[in-house]
Chains A and B, each alone.
With several copies, the nearest count.
Chain A
Amino acid sequence: MKQQQLECAANTAVDSRTLYTNLTMAGFGGQGLMFIGKLLAFSAMKAGLQVSWIPSYGPEMRGGTANCTVVIANEPIASPVIRSPETLIIMNNPSLEAFEPRLKSGGTLFVNSNLVTCPATRKDIEVVAVPADEVAQSAGGRKAANMVMLGAYLAKVAILDKSQIEYGFLEFFGSKAAQTLDLNMKAFSLGAAFSQADCKTKKES
C-alpha cells in the first residue's frame, strides 16, 4: 500500500446537535457504489439518524455509470435531492467529469486513484485520493474497493464508527453478506486508516 499516495482532507467537524450531511458516490455499475450508499444510510438509520438514499436508476439503460446520493441528518430531511453534495466518492473517470462541477464549494472529493486517472480541476475543493483497488487487493479482493472508500469517507466525516457499519452490513444484507464480512470490514479499516494517517492536505481554496 503506497501510503504516500494518500491525499486527505482535514477532519470535517460534525456538529451533533444539528447534524446534516450529504454525499454522492458514482462509478461504473458493478463497483458497488449503490451498496455502500445503502449501507451507510441504513447504518445511520440504525444509529437513530434520519436518512434518505436516492439511486440513479433504471435497468432500461445498460452500461454507463451508476450513482447514488445519501442524506444524513438528525432532523427530518426535507429535500432528499441534492444538486451540489458536500462530499463526492468517485470511482471512474466519466463520473469525475460528470460530478466534479457539482461538488459544493469547499466540499471533499474522494477518488479511487487507481481508476480515476484524470486530475480534478477545481481549486475550491479538497481532494482525497485513495488507491482503493490496491488497498482492497491487499485486504483480499479488488471487489472491496467500495468499502475502502467508505472507510476513508467515514474516517473523515465521523458520523458512524466501524462497529455501526459492521452491524448495518450484517443486518441489512443478511446471511449472504456474512460470508464476505471479514474481507469487507478489513477493506473498510484499511480505508479508514488511510484517512486517519497523517497525510498531505490539498486545501487550495
Chain B
Amino acid sequence: MEKLFMTGNEAIAEAAIRSGCLYYFGYPITPQNEIPEYMSTRLPELGGAFLQAESEIAAIYMVYGAAGAGMRVMSSSSSPGISLKQEGLSYIAAAELPCVIVNMMRGGPGLGGIQPSQSDYFQATKGGGHGDYHLFVLAPSTVQEAVSLTGDAFDIADKYRTPVMILGDGIIGQMMEPVEFEQRPRSKEYDKSWALSGAKGRPRNVIKTLYLDPQKLEQHNLKLQDKYQKMKEDVRIEHYLCDDAEIVIAAYGTVARIAKTAVQILRDKGIKVGLLRPITLYPFPYDHFQEIAERIRKVLVVEMSLGQMVEDVKLAVNGKAEVAFYGRTGGIVPSYEEIAAELEKQLF
C-alpha cells in the first residue's frame, strides 16, 4: 500500500471518489476549497459530474436532485456556508436521501475568521434546520481517519437513507499527512428502488417531504425517529488510557489529538488521566460516557468552542461525575501545554 502525502481536504475528496461518489456540487469557501478543486479535475474524467453551484443553497439542492437519482453525491463547505444549507439538510433528512456533506469549521459567528474552530457542533448534532431530524455526524481526527470515515459515511448514508456530515475543522482540511487508500470491502448493494429514473415499467416514484395531514406527518416523524434510534448500533468512540483513569478528557477531532499529547505529558508525571474521543457525534456515545462516569471523578471537556459538546457529555454523565469545560474559540487552537495545565488545575 503506497503512502500518499495529502491534505485532509484532498484525501476526503479522493476517498469519496473511491467510495463511488461521482457527483459533487459545492461553492468555494476557505478552508475547504481543495475539495471542490480536486473534484473539478477528477470527476469529469471519471464520467461523473462536478458543478460549482451558484451558492451553497443551490449546491445542497443539487445534491438533493442527484441523490434523488440514486447516486452517491457529496457537497462540502465551511461554517457560514453550512448555515445556508440548513433548510436543504432538513429537506434531505425529511426526504430520506443519502448523501455526504463536509463541514470544515472555521471561527464564527458571522463572517468570523477562517481559522479552525468547533463551534458548529450544536448545528451539526442537534439540527440547525427546522424539525425533528438529525444528521449522522462523523468527526475524524487524522487525515487517515478522514479517509476511512469518508468511506463509511457513504455506506451509512445508504444504509439509513440519511444525510451524513463529516465534521472537520480548518486543520483537518489543510493539514498534510501520510495516507493509505486501502481497498475497502465493496459496499453491499443498497436498495435504491425508491430512486427516480422515469416511471418505466413500475409505478411512479415520488420524493417529497410534504405531509399535509398531521397524522401522516407524525407517522413520518416516528419513522425517522426509529431510524435515529437504530443508528445507535453505529456509535463509535476511541478510549485512550481510560482503564485506570481517575479523570478523563473528552474531545473530538483535532482537539482530541492535541489532548492526547497532553494526556501523555500528564501520564509521564504519573497522573492517571485518559481521553475519550467520540468519533460519531450523532449518535453521541452516551452509553460509553455513562458507563465511565461510574468509575471516574471528573470529565474535562475540551473544545474549540465556548461549550457545545459539553452538554452532551453532561446529559450522558447525568450528575454521576463532575463535568468541567475548557474552550478556546475564534480560531485559536489550544496547545497541549495549556490543556495539560488546565487538567492539572482540575485535579483538585
Contact = CB atoms under 8 A, between A and B. Distances in A.
B5 A60 contact: no
A80 B261 CA distance: 10
Given A45-B5, A54-B171, A81-B171, 15 more contacts: A51-B5, A52-B175, A53-B5, A53-B175, A55-B175, A57-B114, A58-B30, A61-B114, A78-B258, A79-B258, A79-B261, A80-B177, A81-B335, A83-B338, A84-B337
Question: Which 5 A-B pairs rank lowest in CB-CB distance, beginning with the nearest?
Answer: A83-B335, A78-B260, A79-B261, A78-B261, A53-B176
B258 A81 contact: yes
Interface of B: 3, 5, 30-31, 114-115, 170-171, 174-178, 212, 254, 257-258, 260-262, 264, 333, 335-338
Contacts of A78: 257-258, 260-261, 264, 336
Say what secondary structure dominates the interface of chain A.
loop
A57 B177 contact: no
Interface of A: 38, 41-42, 45, 50-55, 57-61, 77-84, 172
A38 B178 CA distance: 11
B30 A81 contact: no
Contacts of B257: 77-81
Nearest to A59: B30
Residue with the greatest number of chain A CB neighbours at <10 A, chosen from B177, B261, B264: B177
B73 to A, nearest CB: 27
Residue with the greatest number of chain B CB neighbours at <10 A, chosen from A42, A57, A84: A57
A54 B30 contact: no
B175 A80 contact: yes
13 contacts: A38-B5, A50-B178, A53-B175, A54-B171, A54-B175, A55-B174, A57-B31, A60-B30, A78-B258, A79-B261, A79-B336, A81-B333, A83-B337
Nearest to B260: A78
Contacts of A61: 114, 212
